[in-house]
Structures are given as C-alpha cells and as structure tokens.
C-alpha cells in the first residue's frame, strides 16, 4: 500500500523527514527517487538534523557515499546518480547491515542491489514549491513506520 504526503514548502519536506526519523531503527534503508531539484537532498538534511548531525549535508554525487557518524546513529548518505551498470565493487550491501541508516538518492539506478525490506519515497514536482511524496514500504517495520507517521 502506498502512502501520499503533499509538501508545500522546504519546511514541510524537512518536517516529514524528521517525523520519519522519529521511527528509525538500525539497518533502515530509505530509497529516494525523483527528478533533479525535487527535494531528495532536502529530505536527507531534515533526517540528518533530527539525528543530531550538525555537518552540512550536501548531495554526495561525486563521492557516491558520505558517512556521518557524529549523530545518534550512523547515517550513510548515497547518491548513485553517476554510477554505471557495474557497481558491484562499491559494497552497498555492507552498508545496509552496519547498524546505521542508509539513505540513497537515485535508488532506482541500483534496484538490483537494494534489500527486499526498505522504504521507497518518490518525489513528484507539482510546481515551484509543491511536491507529492509517495511512500512505498517493503517489509512489516516499514509498513508500521508509514502507519505511524503518515
């Protein structure tokens, strides 16, 4: 079952990310999909802020993975936009089981690498300020998270 949330501002996107963070658990995987400028990195900033991470969060497009270990629980922020088909040597699955939280921008590019249990969030641009976020939970804990927050 999909859940929908309409964000009418950057602040709304930050708030929903903080609400999702309040239901966090170890090895959580959040997959973000949507066009450039749709709010994926804004969501990650809100989530990281709620974790107590004070670093400046930017999209790790050229690094692919940024690790933030100074918050309540480690955050692994991935941006796989620039990856080609051969990404086996990056070790994504290692990150999914390190006890932290993994947020992946452009996750649809690495569909084959994703764990079966995850939360997918698709960002649809409506206008300059408005986004519709479509949450698709895979796994009981993600269903429960969506039911609690949305």
CATH number at residue 11: 3.40.50.300
Q: What is the mean pLDDT of residues 111-133?
A: 96
pLDDT of residue 102: 97
The answer on pLDDT for 83 being more than 80 is: no
Q: Is the pLDDT of residue 120 over 90?
A: yes
**What burial class does residue 78 get, using C-beta atoms within 10 Å of its C-beta: 0-12 exposed, 13-18 middle, 19+ buried?**
buried
Residue that the structure tokens 């040597």 belong to: 89
- Whether the predicted pLDDT of 87 surpasses 80: no
| Predicted structure pTM score | 0.95
Considering only residues 24 and 61, tell me which one the structure prediction assigns the higher pLDDT: 24
Contact residues for 142 (Cβ-Cβ < 8 A; gap 6+) = 117, 118, 119
Provide the number of structural domains found in the chain: 1
Mean pLDDT within 24-28: 97
How would residue 88 be classed by pLDDT, with cut points 50, 70 and 90? low
pLDDT score of 14: 97
**β-pair type (75-79, 101-105):** parallel
pLDDT at 89: 61
Residue 120 is part of which domain span? Answer: 3-149
The arithmetic mean of pLDDT across residues 48-54, rounded, is: 96
Of residues 137 and 64, more confidence is placed in 137
Residue 85 pLDDT grade (very low, low, confident, very high; cuts 50, 70, 90): low
Residue 43 pLDDT: 98
Closest C-alpha among 146, 116, 126 to residue 37: 126
């Amino acid at each position: 079952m999909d859940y929908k949330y309409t964000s009418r501002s950057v602040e709304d996107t930050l708030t929903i990310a903080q609400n999702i963070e309040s239901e966090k658990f170890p090895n959580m995987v959040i997959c973000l999909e949507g066009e450039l400028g749709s709010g994926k990195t804004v969501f990650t900033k809100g989530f990281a802020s709620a974790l107590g991470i004070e670093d400046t969060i930017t999209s790790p497009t050229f690094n692919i993975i940024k690790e933030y270990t100074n918050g309540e629980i480690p955050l692994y922020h991935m941006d796989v936009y620039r990856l080609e088909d051969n990404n086996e040597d990056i070790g994504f699955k290692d990150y999914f089981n390190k006890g932290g939280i993994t947020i992946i921008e452009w996750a649809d590019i690495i569909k084959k690498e994703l764990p079966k249990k995850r939360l997918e969030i698709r960002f649809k641009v409506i206008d300059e300020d408005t986004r519709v976020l479509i949450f698709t939970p895979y796994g009981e804990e993600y269903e429960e998270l969506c039911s609690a927050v949305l």
